[in-house]
């Protein structure tokens, strides 16, 4: 992708079914996937880390804290 090109997307959803925060999180996942694939078009989907760094940290440390 050339620097002057921009990838934009819009998500339409039923507000009665999803909270805005969940849709923002899904949008973040989609943006992350797009960035990874644009960096390496030959990458396998199974090789892409879906969780963002902050979510991974939260799962590994915060939710695993038993004290």
pTM score: 0.67
Instruction: State pLDDT tens for residues 2-29.
Output: 556 787 889 999 999 999 999 998 998 8
Instruction: State pLDDT tens for residues 43-63.
Output: 998 999 877 777 777 777 776
Instruction: Look up the domain containing 56 and give its range.
Output: 1-67
Label residues 30-57 b or e (16+ Cβ within 10 Å = b): eebeeeeeeeeeeeeeeeeeeeeeeeee
Domain count of the chain? Answer: 1
**Which pair of tokens denotes residue 28?**
């973040």
The rounded distance, in Å, linking the Cα atoms of 14 and 24 is 13
Q: Which residues contact 1 (CB under 8 A, 6 or more apart)?
A: 7, 38
């Amino acid at each position: 992708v050339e620097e002057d090109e921009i990838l934009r997307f819009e998500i339409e959803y039923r507000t009665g079914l999803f909270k805005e925060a969940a849709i923002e999180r899904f949008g973040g996942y989609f943006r992350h996937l797009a960035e990874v694939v644009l960096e390496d078009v030959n990458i396998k989907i199974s090789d892409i880390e879906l969780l963002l760094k902050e979510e991974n940290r939260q799962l590994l440390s915060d939710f695993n804290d038993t004290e």
